[in-house]
Amino acid sequence: MNKSIQLGMATFIAGAGVAMGQTTQEQIDALEEQILKLQQQVENGGAQPNFLNQAAAQGLQFNFYGQITWKSGGGSTKADAYRYVLIPTYKLSDYAKFVSEFELEHGGLKNNNTSTTTKEDRFSGALELEQMYIDVNINEYVNWRSLGVSLIPIGEINQYHEPDQFYSSFRPQLYKSIIPTTWMEMGTGFNGDTPVDGLKYEYYMSQGLNSDTGNGGKDADSWTFKGARPDLNNKDIHSYAHTLKLSYQTGGAYVSASRYMTTHHNPTDEQSDVALTSLYGSYRFENGLELIAEKAWWDIDNPENLTDAGVSDISNDEFGGYRLEVAYHIPHGDNTITPFLRYEELDSGVNNSADTEYVTFGAMYKFGDNWEIKANVEMKETATGTETDSIHLSVGMQF
């Protein structure tokens, strides 16, 4: 028997069973509706319902970005399936939207059952849930971000890091050593526009920092704020963090200021109030010239309480860095080539990267809106005078 007819008979019988408890007119209406659906399905050749198309019509959407990189310098050469990021979203209603983001790094996850001595495992990456929340529009100026996993609204590239949002193959060093990207936490908050045209705000309350995960037992030379980020299944939240960001855009000018504040707890529960401040400004002229300046720094009340008892203490109560960048966007048909020059200086009292300077220059060639290739040189000089040069290549895509 034709599959579509079998399905139709089953649907008809099920519908008749439901209709037994209804009035005669309700029975007729319900059966007519199911017969109409059966006719439509038979006309389509008995094809099964396309649930993806139905979901898309109701608001399901998939976005993606990814990056493949190649790096040569410092005596080694490395190719990397760096990032594969899938972003499913769903419009729940006229005022609510579900957002999620999955990221697969470095090609795949390490097999814990594989012998490390024989190096049989090809992968050393991570699979991460970077975002999962519901945005609810309350009114013209207020959106509530539900309890979930969200990016900390600090700086710019931590929130907006698709490959075409920075012109080098890798993110600026400021977002590796000072702002610990990609930085997401469990929390909730509010965001929205203001009555001032172009002025926006973001507030996010999240779990605070501790050394239970990545910094346990580390001394002053190896301790990092990136290692102080807690697990997303944190079983013991020691403190909460508060982040406020204001941004303003008019014409080609964009500026933002953000501040993150929390109390850090080390494994022996010694505490230290810490705060991260970020200031960002950019201007893009009509002729394609773009200027960027950004500064970020940590303030630490009791730096000696960051590390564990029995290891060397951190002595500096402030460290940070800045970047200055110039780029020029040159149209080439439907594409764009963007040569750039960036200077960064990182002054970190936490470890041996104190007073490290970076000069990065190269170009990004963007094909339309959805993919680009990049090539650049990075020159690094440490406080001790050690110099390291490296060449970076990458292919990025976003759609």
Percent of the chain surpassing pLDDT 90? 64
Beta carbons of 223 and 213 less than 8 angstroms apart: no
Kind of pairing between the strands at 356-367 and 289-300: unpaired
Q: Which amino acid is located at 167 in the chain?
A: Y
- For Cα atoms 349, 151, 226, give the angle at the middle one, nearest 5 degrees: 25
What is the mean predicted confidence (pLDDT) over 118-143? 89
Q: Which of the listed CATH numbers 3.40.50.2300, 3.40.366.10, 3.30.70.3270, 2.40.160.10 matches domain 60-84+134-398?
A: 2.40.160.10
Please give the residue that has the higher pLDDT: either 211 or 338. 338
Q: Which of 116-130, 185-199, 352-366 is the least confident region?
A: 116-130
Give the CA distances from residue 365 to residues 247, 284, 374, 396, in Å, rounded to whole numbers and listed in that order.
28, 18, 6, 10
- Does the pLDDT at position 79 exceed 90? yes
How much is the pLDDT for 52? Answer: 55
By three-state DSSP, how is residue 288 classified?
A: coil
> SS3 of 46, please?
coil
Q: How far apart are CA 224 and CA 227, in angstroms?
A: 5
Q: Where are the beta strands (DSSP E) in the chain?
A: 60-73, 76-91, 96-105, 126-137, 143-151, 184-193, 199-207, 240-250, 253-265, 271-284, 289-300, 318-328, 330-332, 335-347, 356-367, 371-381, 387-398
At residue 10, the pLDDT reads 44
Tell me how far apart the alpha carbons of residues 41 and 64 are, in angstroms, rounded to a whole number. Answer: 33
According to the model, what pLDDT value does residue 9 have? 42
Q: Give the residue, 36 or 130, on which the prediction is more confident.
A: 130
| Domain spans, the chain | 1-49, 60-84+134-398
What are the structure tokens assigned to 250, written together?
A: 């008019």
pLDDT score of 124 more than 60: yes
- Position 364 scores a pLDDT of 99
Report the share of the chain in percent with pLDDT over 70: 81
Q: What is the pLDDT of residues 339-392, one digit of tens each?
A: 999 999 998 665 544 689 999 999 999 999 999 999 999 999 988 889 999 999
Q: What does pLDDT average to over the chain?
A: 86
Length of the chain: 399
Query: What is the structure's pLDDT at 307?
Result: 83
CA distance 167 to 100: 26
Is it the case that residue 151 has pLDDT exceeding 80? yes
- pLDDT (average), residues 49-69: 80
Joined together, the tokens standing for residue 224 give: 């990092």
pLDDT at position 311: 78
Give the per-residue pLDDT at 227. 85
Asked if pLDDT for residue 398 goes beyond 70, the answer is yes
pLDDT in tens, 218-255: 777 778 888 888 888 877 788 999 999 999 999 999 99
Residue-level pLDDT at 240: 96
pLDDT at 333 exceeding the cut of 80: yes
Of residues 371 and 212, more confidently modeled? 371
pLDDT of residue 314: 84
Q: Is the pLDDT of residue 99 over 90?
A: yes
Give the pLDDT band of residue 43 (cuts 50, 70, 90). Answer: low
Query: Which two structure tokens, joined as six digits, stand for 243?
Result: 């982040």
Mean pLDDT of 45-52: 53
- Per residue in 272-317, pLDDT (tens digit) is 999 999 999 999 999 999 999 999 999 999 888 888 877 788 888 8
